[in-house]
Amino acid sequence: MFDFSKFPDIFSRILMPAINETLYMSVVSTLLAFVIGLIPAVLLIISDKEGLKPNPKLYLILDIIINTLRSFPFIILIIVLIPVTRAIVGTSIGTTATIVPLTIGAAPFVARLIESAFKEVDKGIIEAAKSFGASNFQIIFRIMFVEALPSIISAFTLTLIVNIGFSAMAGAVGGGGLGAVAINYGYQRFRPDIMFYTVVILIIMVQIFQILGNLAYKYTKK
């Protein structure tokens, strides 16, 4: 049986700093992934065979690059990107360093989700915008982006939840956060109580973000 009387002390000393690190890694990497992933997503939707400016060669190149990056297991991606991470942040371990592989790993995933969201927009609205003389830029960011906003919010929520899981995985290679606590305290020091606490906190964290994402989706869907 766990001694829950020690939980307040464990939470303040160990778990709370780890929660802050996990939130920092997950939220920042998700925001950066959306900024980066939006660019190939727009290029994909434009160059698609039914896009605003079809370009099969460009679409094929982007398609191959995105599929290749998405196929990397996250642990391997962290190792492969060590030189890149060091060049950007000066180190390959720690919470800030983990943001680099988290961002690069999530960006192609985001690109696909945004592309799918754009493809769900009613073609009739796009054709109507063209007939009024709207430019491709206006169609994408003033019509397609607005119409696809609920789906994009769902994509953001999904990516954030995935990154929370990946950030926990990064704890195995010096990434910090709840994953590092689970390994360093729970597994290596044979503390099943700390392992249990980290799992419960991760579940609660995911549930909170999913609820907030659902509320934002419903609000934008009206």
The CB density around residue 185, as the number of other CB atoms within 10 Å, is: 20
The string of pLDDT tens digits covering residues 44-70 is 999 998 878 889 999 999 999 999 888
Residue 89 placed within a domain: yes
Q: In 79-183, which ranges are E strands?
A: none
Confidence at residue 2, expressed as pLDDT on a 0 to 100 scale: 66
Packed helices 95-119 and 149-170: angle between N→C axes, nearest 10 degrees = 150
In whole angstroms, what is the distance from residue 125 CA to residue 137 CA?
15
- Across the range 208-219, mean pLDDT stands at 94
> Which of these ranges, 31-35, 44-48, 190-194, 206-210, has the smallest mean pLDDT?
190-194
Q: Per-residue confidence at 1, pLDDT binned at 50, 70, 90?
A: low
Residue 19 placed within a domain: yes
Residue appearing with tokens 């400016």: 53
- Across the range 17-40, mean pLDDT stands at 94
Residue 1 placed within a domain: no
Residue 32 placed within a domain: yes
Q: Per-residue confidence at 123, pLDDT binned at 50, 70, 90?
A: confident
CB neighbour burial string for 104-133, b if at least 16 within 10 angstroms, e if fewer: bbbbbbbbbbbbbbbbebeeeebeebeeee
Given CA atoms 105, 153, 32, 146 in this order, what sign does their dihedral have?
A: positive
Residue 208 placed within a domain: yes
The string of pLDDT tens digits covering residues 62-115 is 999 999 888 888 888 888 888 999 999 888 888 889 999 999 999 999 999 999
Residue 147 placed within a domain: yes
- Across the range 128-148, mean pLDDT stands at 86
pLDDT at 22 over 90: yes
Q: How many domains does the chain fold into?
A: 1
Confidence at residue 19, expressed as pLDDT on a 0 to 100 scale: 94
- Across the range 192-210, mean pLDDT stands at 92
pLDDT at 176 over 70: yes
Confidence at residue 126, expressed as pLDDT on a 0 to 100 scale: 87
- Across the range 110-139, mean pLDDT stands at 88
Residue 36 placed within a domain: yes
pTM of the model as a whole: 0.90
Confidence at residue 150, expressed as pLDDT on a 0 to 100 scale: 93
In whole angstroms, what is the distance from residue 78 CA to residue 105 CA?
9
Residue 150: give its domain's CATH number. 1.10.3720.10
Q: Per-residue confidence at 188, pLDDT binned at 50, 70, 90?
A: confident
Helices (H) and strands (E) in the chain, counts: 12, 0
Packed helices 192-221 and 16-47: angle between N→C axes, nearest 10 degrees = 40
Confidence at residue 66, expressed as pLDDT on a 0 to 100 scale: 92
pLDDT at 155 over 60: yes
Q: CB within 8 A of 198, min separation 6: which ones?
A: 15, 18, 168, 178, 179, 181, 182, 186
Given CA atoms 122, 125, 130, 134 in this order, what sign does their dihedral have?
A: negative
Instruction: Give the range of the structural domain holding residue 61, as residue numbers without chain letter.
Output: 6-221
SS3 category, 191: coil
Residue 180 placed within a domain: yes
